[in-house]
């Protein structure tokens, strides 16, 4: 018996077969997600449920985005450059639909991700059937489009040389060694900073540190009509690119004395209402927002040479929203939020630990959200999308909210 008993995995010399293999793995994860939905009402977030949630999270957070990048950066552009006649008309019609499907799948995953994280941690056993159904339907329709129309066209039109180019690009994207194309620097090389080091007391002159950007461009035509939708698009791309802490943002506030302060926090939710984070209302930022309910947020994603600036007024979330998030956190994080008088001086770490122990003894495993802890939502009136470009000639597209709630969009100079 000479046949291998193991499923053969296609090599990157067959890039279209690799894409189909990715689809097969996605289908398995979607099936796991559906099985988990049926499992939870009966067994809760038991070890099996936690393991299933962890598997789905791992795949869609670390691998699925590579498949999207293969299509957006290689497959579709190569087909557009190669196809003619009816083939070109078809791919031109399909491309916007495929890109829109990517955006929808990213949005659907963003909703499911937080639910699955709580199941994986064993702190909740709730998974929305509607959210699962929408996610599965989006992915299934997307894969059917590619397998029935896009992949057959690529197999028919691509030359062996084009297949090799695409396979090499897919390998590099996954960190697998592939021979670089002549005169074509790798992504890592392209992203490397150009540094002129002037020795100053054994160090480097800060004025001589330079990075010349050039990965992408941004025009008004590239952006969506709604700035929150545009943020969703960029946030999804930051997730796909495995940006370090893509949800980290700087929050800048100004107190009654007119002095600004800033700090890094993690965004916990965003939608058409605004951008939400949670904190101690009695902290420094809480006191400043009580004096001046306006703030500025900044997301910086250096791997993509992008930043997003968001400005607007700040309001507190409802008690119901604050409760929902507080009780979704691990119990130890709940206890820490109660024990810490954020921003207030304390003698030493030992005193902090003692306060935590006292709260833990009093609250047990069911602490109550304190009135001084909850959410803030920045309601934006200005968003700027910044794309780094060469020679500091950056692209900047700004959205400004009008009195009637609509948005204007314009380019401003770097």
Q: What are phi and psi of 261, to 5 degrees?
A: -140, 155
Give the pLDDT mean for 144-167.
Answer: 89
Give the pLDDT mean for 188-205.
Answer: 39
Active-site hit among 392, 401, 409, 411: 392
Q: What percent of the chain has pLDDT over 90?
A: 60
Binding-site residue ranges for FMN: 263-268, 278-279, 285, 307, 342-343, 386, 396
Residues 6+ apart with CB under 8 A from 220: 397, 409, 410, 411
Give the pLDDT mean for 46-75.
Answer: 88
Lowest mean pLDDT among 16-20, 29-33, 176-180, 400-404: 176-180
The token duo for 360 is 């833990």
Give the pLDDT mean for 100-104.
Answer: 88
212 vs 53, residue with greater confidence: 53
368 classed as catalytic? no
Binding-site residue ranges: 263-268, 278-279, 285, 307, 325, 329, 333, 342-343, 386, 392-394, 396
Query: What is the reported pLDDT for 184?
Result: 36
Give the pLDDT mean for 251-277.
Answer: 95
Q: What average pLDDT does the chain have?
A: 86
Binding-site residue ranges for substrate: 268, 325, 329, 333, 392-394
Torsion, CA 219, CA 221, CA 222, CA 226, rounded to 10: 110
Residue 116 C-alpha from the chain's centroid: 16
Q: Are 55 and 29 in contact (CB under 8 A)?
A: yes
pLDDT of 194 strictly over 80: no
Give the pLDDT mean for 216-224.
Answer: 89
Query: What is the reported pLDDT for 211?
Result: 59
pLDDT of 187 strictly over 50: no
pLDDT in tens, 103-153: 888 888 988 988 999 999 999 999 999 999 999 998 999 899 999 999 999
pLDDT of 198 strictly over 70: no
Query: What is the reported pLDDT for 179?
Result: 43
Give the pLDDT mean for 372-394.
Answer: 94
Query: What is the reported pLDDT for 191?
Result: 37
By the 10 Å C-beta count (0-12 exposed, 13-18 middle, 19+ buried), 251 is classed as buried
pTM above 0.85, yes or no: no
Give the pLDDT mean for 83-94.
Answer: 92
């Amino acid at each position: 018996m000479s046949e291998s008993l193991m499923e053969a995995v296609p090599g990157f010399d067959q890039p279209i077969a690799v894409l189909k293999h990715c689809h097969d793995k996605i289908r398995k994860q979607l099936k796991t997600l559906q099985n988990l939905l049926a499992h939870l009402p009966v067994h809760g977030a038991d070890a099996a449920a936690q393991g299933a949630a962890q598997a789905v999270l791992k795949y869609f957070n670390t691998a699925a985005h590579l498949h999207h990048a293969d299509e957006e950066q290689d497959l579709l552009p190569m087909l557009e450059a190669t196809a003619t006649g009816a083939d070109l008309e078809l791919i031109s019609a399909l491309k916007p639909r495929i890109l829109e499907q990517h955006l929808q799948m990213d949005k659907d995953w963003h909703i499911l991700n937080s639910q699955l994280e709580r199941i994986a941690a064993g702190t909740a056993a709730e998974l929305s059937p509607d959210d699962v159904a929408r996610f599965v339907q989006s992915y299934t329709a997307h894969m059917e489009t590619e397998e029935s129309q896009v992949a057959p066209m690529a197999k028919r039109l691509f030359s062996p040389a084009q297949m090799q180019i695409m396979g090499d690009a897919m390998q590099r994207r996954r960190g697998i060694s592939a021979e670089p194309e002549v005169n074509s620097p790798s992504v890592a090389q392209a992203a490397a900073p150009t540094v002129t080091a002037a020795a100053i007391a054994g160090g480097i002159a800060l004025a001589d540190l330079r990075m010349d950007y050039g990965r992408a461009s941004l025009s008004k035509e590239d952006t969506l009509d709604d700035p929150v939708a545009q943020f969703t698009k960029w946030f999804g791309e930051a997730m796909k690119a495995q940006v370090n802490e893509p949800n980290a943002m700087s929050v800048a506030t100004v107190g009654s004395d007119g002095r600004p302060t800033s700090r890094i926090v993690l965004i916990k939710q965003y939608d058409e209402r605004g951008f939400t984070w949670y904190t101690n209302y009695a902290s420094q930022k809480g006191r400043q927002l009580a004096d001046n309910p306006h703030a500025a947020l900044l997301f910086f994603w250096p791997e993509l040479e992008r930043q997003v600036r968001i400005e607007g007024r700040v309001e507190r979330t409802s008690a119901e929203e604050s409760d929902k998030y507080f009780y979704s956190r691990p119990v130890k994080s709940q206890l820490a939020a109660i024990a810490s008088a954020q921003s207030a001086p304390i003698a030493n770490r030992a005193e902090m630990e003692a306060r935590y122990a006292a709260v833990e003894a009093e609250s047990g495993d069911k602490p109550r959200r304190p009135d001084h802890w909850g959410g803030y939502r920045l309601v934006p009136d200005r968003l700027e999308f910044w794309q780094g470009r060469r020679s500091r000639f950056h692209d900047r597209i700004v959205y400004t909210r009008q009195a009637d709630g609509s948005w204007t969009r314009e380019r401003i100079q770097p």
